């Protein structure tokens, strides 16, 4: 196990650009939520709902906003945005495996591939003809990098990821295990009897600072490319159809699915399990609720939902059966209103 | 990078069986949608909605129907079904890696496996005892072919696919990366305290010309086999439970899921994210909308939907709360009607 | 192919603890449902709905309850819970590949990993520094076991599974192909411009007798661990967010998804494609219907549903449009009622 990391509190304050109030010499060796933090641990208060937990909090120090400073009597790191400062703090304590630059002897690398000098290529990796791997990048065990893929600098590909041919990744892209980028889009022309395959001739272009979770799939374009903008964050088991264009900094939560040719704006959030039918456009800063389905374009920022609320099944069933009569109910109501008016 | 493909237009007309109107000597080096096509590119018009785009289209040639021929003044390929002809055109321009027959030295192949002479077995492939790989088939890097699997001719298995034991694939089957065929169906008998595993003793049989997307899962049967008919097309992240039987030429879009023992007819379409509960039967030519759930059998061809339409969340919430009162609303309406009638 | 297994019926009765009525010397070589069973096959009756099938059943023997014994004239195995007895019977006939203890020469195993003597490590497996593999465990081809993972005894990891670092598995855990355990939870702090990654410092702890299907993902915790209790059964393509805590013996069907920090009780059942938003608590013995979404905590045992029933699309659309007016309908009804009362 890599040695657990340790920092003096003053050192952390310095690294995070936070104002230290208290004893800078105490040693911090990890992070924990307010309710479970103990000796040697740093915690944070971001959501004011939890302010009351500060009273009994056993953390050795807490990151919090100026306005909440008086609510905690222990060591404090004062930050403008405590949640963001906490995020940077987690990065200090990350215990990734040491990256050893070099190429594992079991890797199969095409002669025409171009690898920066300090890359790390792990066991059983396969890299195709003409592929380029940028400086500081790390390709996890069993990953497959197809022909002519271009990976930027400091890219992190986790084990068993597959990139089909002609996939381009920017710098600092992270792709988690078993995700597949660039498989054929789902395109067929029906000839009346059977489905004729439409060869998928486009590629996939992914910007800088994109993170893609585990077991997600982003299909290559049919003729043009599928495009994922800078800073987009995609969770696990997300499906992005061919020729989607996802705007910068959009967030797509787990199990969400976009059909083909969906154009999504910047700073959108697709909730878990949400979806969009094909060929629609979604404006900037649209937020789609969990398991909601967009079946037409959304032209303005705002939150969108569909579905019904959960209830005990017998109650739900009575209401769901009535849903089947809803048009008739509306008409009967209108009829009664006419009578009442006459 | 493989040399981009090029054809004379007359040659394409010939290969596609389309009628050439215009200059057969121009060189076509790719395909593009009407709106972005340029010099050297071939485009197509299938949906009449886009007819107006022909006026300014810069494509060197367009595939279109006889009746639309006059709408485009440039070179034309006249086809009865322009979309199908376009599909065949894409296949001309596909730039798959060259398939080099042979067995990569890192592959692990059981002594009792039978491989046709011209198969291509890529790096780190594992093939189990008794497996058979048909002529012209290609097994991508890191794929696992279990014991006694039988693969037909011209099968294409993409990297990191897993076939458990006793999976049978017909000819020309394509399976995209990380899909898993033949994992155990989800079967347990509850003994009042814990779930006792029901060993899954069946296999999976997949017909000819089936394509399966990336990250999809098709479970092996409990006692009998799970069966996928000829020409079925399955998108990414689809889940097919044990003992499903899918009729010929049915299409299952991304993230759709069928529970166990669902029998689906021929020429059905399951929309993205749609589902079916277990042990139901779906007639031929049923189309299920995106994210709809079938909770009972469907006996006639036609389109089926469930769910609600998306709306801005505050509006949606007001209506969703009223859904909880729907049975009461219906009863109160009936009560008022009785009063009005008396 | 491994030799099909065969048992005398008396031997099966003995192994299953069932009461034999009939000829104990007949040979049973497999299992089949009542409707398709033939010579040499054992079948079972659990659901009384199928009692009528016994009359024409061609099975050589049937497992059934005492009270149904007279409905079948052939050889019988009488059991208190025929479905559970059938489950144990399937285990007798399972034809898993022979497990050959040993380490495949293509495996890459860190020097500091600790492997029990009789483990089976298949082709191209990668095992990280400090990992421990318990007695009788089997790691399938192409699987990746991260640094400091601890696997109990008789664990079965199928091909191409990925365990990130610091994942702990109890005894007899089964993980099907391409599932990913311990990828980073989806945590970011938004700084007003971009999403800052929250390093995921927790691990994943999985109890004894847990089975996880193919292509499922269970994320590592942000600060504390994600926890899966003993006896939990998880189907294919399930997503479990960071810091979820799943109680013992809960069942999660295919494509279900839990967002982060969901606490689920014991003996719950999440239906296929169901979901839960983050930070909620679900009591013991709650059953969530297929594709239902829990958007708040559930405090009592019982069944929960959401959504609407499926209907033919034109009919559905009329009702779905009326759903958009539901709040107005309710108000208009109330208004009419007031008039009627006055």
Question: How does pLDDT run across C20-69, given as a tens digit for each residue?
Answer: 999 999 999 999 999 999 999 999 999 999 999 999 999 999 999 999 99
Residue corresponding to tokens 């060869």:
A199
pLDDT digits 0-9 by tens, A305-320: 999 999 999 999 999 9
Residue B238 lies in a domain: no
Residues A32-39 have a mean pLDDT of: 94
Nearest CA in chain B to A332: B333
Alpha-carbon torsion C96, C102, C104, C108, what sign?
Answer: positive
Residue C157 lies in a domain: no
How confident is residue B101, by pLDDT bands cut at 50, 70 and 90? confident
The count of CB pairs under 8 A between chains A and C is: 238
User: Measured between CB atoms, does A305 come within 8 Å of chain C?
Assistant: no
pLDDT digits 0-9 by tens, C134-151: 999 999 999 999 999 999
Q: What is the pLDDT of residue B1?
A: 45
In this complex, do C86 and B147 lie within 8 Å of one another by their Cβ atoms?
no
In this complex, do C249 and B319 lie within 8 Å of one another by their Cβ atoms?
no
pLDDT digits 0-9 by tens, A323-340: 999 999 999 999 999 988
User: Measured between CB atoms, does C84 come within 8 Å of chain B?
Assistant: yes
Residue A41 lies in a domain: yes
One-character DSSP codes across B277-339 = -TT-EE-TTEEE-TT-EE-S-B-SSEEEE-S---EEHHHHHHHHHHHTTHHHHHHHHHHHHHH
- Of B59, B93, B127, which residue constitutes the final position of a domain? B93
Residue B213 lies in a domain: no
Where b means 16+ CB within 10 Å and e means fewer, C139-176 reads bbbbbbbbbbbbbbbbbbbbbbbbbbbbbbbbbbbbbb
In this complex, do C88 and B196 lie within 8 Å of one another by their Cβ atoms?
yes
Residues of A in contact with B316 (CB under 8 A): 304-306
- Of A93, A124, A153, which residue constitutes the final position of a domain? A93
Residues B55-80 have a mean pLDDT of: 96
How confident is residue B340, by pLDDT bands cut at 50, 70 and 90? confident
Residue A98 has pLDDT above 70, yes or no: no
In this complex, do C236 and B215 lie within 8 Å of one another by their Cβ atoms?
no
Residue A230 lies in a domain: no
Residue A24 has pLDDT above 90, yes or no: yes
Range of the domain at C82: 7-93
Task: Tell me the nearest-neighbour CA distance from A235 into chain B, angstroms.
Answer: 14
Given B81, B122, B291, which is nearest A191 (Cβ)?
A: B81
User: Measured between CB atoms, does A123 come within 8 Å of chain C?
Assistant: yes
Residues C96-124 have a mean pLDDT of: 91
* ipTM associated with this complex: 0.96
Q: What is the pLDDT of residue C266?
A: 98
Residues of C in contact with B323 (CB under 8 A): 323, 326
pLDDT digits 0-9 by tens, C169-216: 999 999 999 999 999 999 999 999 999 999 999 999 999 999 999 999
The CATH number of residue B55's host domain is 3.40.1390.10
B279 is catalytic: no
**Residue in C297, C301, A282, A277 with CA at minimum distance from that of residue B307:** A277
Residue B304 lies in a domain: no
Distance CA C151, CA C238 (A): 21
Nearest CA in chain A to C243: A33
Question: Which chains does chain A touch, 3 or more C-beta pairs < 8 A?
Answer: B, C
Residue A126 lies in a domain: no
Residue C246 has pLDDT above 70, yes or no: yes
In this complex, do A194 and B93 lie within 8 Å of one another by their Cβ atoms?
no
In this complex, do C178 and B198 lie within 8 Å of one another by their Cβ atoms?
no
DSSP C136: T
Q: What is the pLDDT of residue A1?
A: 45
In this complex, do B86 and A129 lie within 8 Å of one another by their Cβ atoms?
no
Residue B4 has pLDDT above 80, yes or no: no
Residue B75 has pLDDT above 50, yes or no: yes
Residue C301 lies in a domain: no
% of chain A residues with pLDDT over 70? 98
- Spot the catalytic one: A158, A176, A242, A249: A242
The three-state DSSP-derived secondary structure of chain A is CCCCCCEEHHHHHHHHCCEEECCCCCEECEECCCCCCCCCEEEECCCHHHHHHHCCCCCCEEEECHHHHHHCCCEEEECCCHHHHHHHHHHHHCCCCCCCCEECCCCEECCCCEECCCCEECCCCEECCCCEECCCCEECCCCEECCCCEECCCCEECCCCEECCCEEECCCCEECCCCEECCCCCCEEECCCCEEECCCCCCEEECCCCEECCCCEECCCCCCCEEECCCCEECCCCEECCCCEECCCCEECCCCEECCCCEECCCCEECCCCEECCCCEECCCEEECCCCEECCCECCCEEEECCCCCEEHHHHHHHHHHHCCHHHHHHHHHHHHHHHHC
Which of A282, A290, A322 to probe the B interface (max B CBs under 10 A)? A322
% of chain C residues with pLDDT over 90? 95
In this complex, do A177 and C199 lie within 8 Å of one another by their Cβ atoms?
no
Number of domains forming the structure of chain C: 2
Residues of A in contact with C197 (CB under 8 A): 87, 90-91, 211
How confident is residue A2, by pLDDT bands cut at 50, 70 and 90? low
A129-188 residues touching C, CB cutoff 8 A? 140-142, 158-160, 176-178
Distance CA A89, CA A56 (A): 22
Residues of C in contact with B308 (CB under 8 A): 308, 320, 323
In this complex, do B178 and C215 lie within 8 Å of one another by their Cβ atoms?
yes
Decide if C43 contacts C59 (C-beta within 8 A): yes
Task: Tell me the nearest-neighbour CA distance from C46 into chain A, angstroms.
Answer: 26
- Of A51, A66, A93, which residue constitutes the final position of a domain? A93
Helix, strand, or coil here: C196? strand
| pTM to 2 decimal places | 0.97
Given A188, A201, A288, which is nearest B94 (Cβ)?
A: A201
pLDDT digits 0-9 by tens, C283-294: 999 999 999 999
Nearest CA in chain B to A289: B313
Decide if C335 contacts C341 (C-beta within 8 A): no
Residues of B in contact with A194 (CB under 8 A): 209, 231, 249
Residue C82 has pLDDT above 60, yes or no: yes
Task: Tell me the nearest-neighbour CA distance from B213 into chain C, angstroms.
Answer: 13
In terms of pLDDT, which residue wins out, B333 or A1? B333
Contacts of B173 (CB under 8 A, 6+ apart): B151, B152, B155, B156, B206, B208, B209, B210, B211, B212
**Residue in B94, B168, B174, B175 with CA at minimum distance from that of residue B130:** B168
User: Measured between CB atoms, does C224 come within 8 Å of chain A?
Assistant: yes
Torsion, CA B51, CA B56, CA B58, CA B62, rounded to 10: 20
pLDDT digits 0-9 by tens, B280-309: 999 999 999 999 999 999 999 999 999 999
Residue A220 has pLDDT above 50, yes or no: yes
Q: What is the pLDDT of residue C1?
A: 45
Burial of A74 (0-12, 13-18, 19+ CB in 10 A): middle
Helix, strand, or coil here: B32? coil
């Amino acid at each position: 196990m890599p040695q657990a990391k340790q920092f003096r509190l003053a050192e952390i304050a310095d690294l995070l650009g936070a104002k230290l109030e208290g004893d800078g010499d105490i040693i911090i060796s990890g992070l924990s939520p307010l309710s479970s933090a103990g000796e040697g641990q740093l915690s944070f208060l971001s959501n004011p709902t939890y302010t009351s937990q500060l009273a009994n909090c056993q953390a050795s120090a807490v990151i919090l906003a100026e306005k909440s400073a008086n609510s905690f009597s222990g060591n404090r790191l004062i930050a403008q945005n405590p949640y963001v400062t906490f995020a940077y703090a987690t990065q200090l304590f990350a215990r990734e495996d040491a990256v050893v630059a070099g190429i594992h002897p079991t890797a199969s690398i095409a002669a025409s591939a171009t690898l920066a000098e300090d890359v790390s290529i792990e066991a059983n990796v396969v890299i195709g003809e003409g592929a380029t791997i940028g400086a500081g990048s790390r390709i996890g065990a069993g990953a497959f990098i197809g022909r002519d893929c271009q990976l930027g600098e400091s890219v992190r590909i986790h084990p068993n990821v597959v990139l089909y041919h002609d996939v381009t990744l920017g710098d600092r892209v992270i792709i988690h295990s078993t995700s597949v980028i660039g498989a054929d889009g789902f395109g067929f022309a029906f000839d009346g009897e059977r489905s004729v395959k439409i060869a998928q001739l486009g590629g996939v272009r992914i910007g800088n600072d994109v993170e893609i979770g585990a077991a997600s799939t982003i299909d290559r374009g049919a003729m043009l490319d599928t495009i994922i903008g800078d800073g987009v964050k995609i969770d696990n088991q997300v499906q992005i159809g061919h020729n989607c264009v996802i705007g910068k900094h959009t967030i797509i939560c787990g199990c969400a699915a976009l059909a083909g040719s969906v154009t999504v704006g910047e700073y959108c959030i697709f909730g878990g399990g949400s979806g969009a039918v094909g060929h629609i456009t979604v404006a900037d800063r649209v937020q789609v609720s969990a398991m909601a389905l967009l079946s037409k374009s959304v032209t303005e920022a705002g939150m969108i939902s569909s579905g019904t609320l959960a209830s005990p099944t017998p109650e739900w069933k009575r209401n769901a059966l009535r849903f089947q009569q809803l048009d008739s109910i509306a008409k009967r109501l209108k009829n009664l209103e006419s009578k009442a008016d006459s």
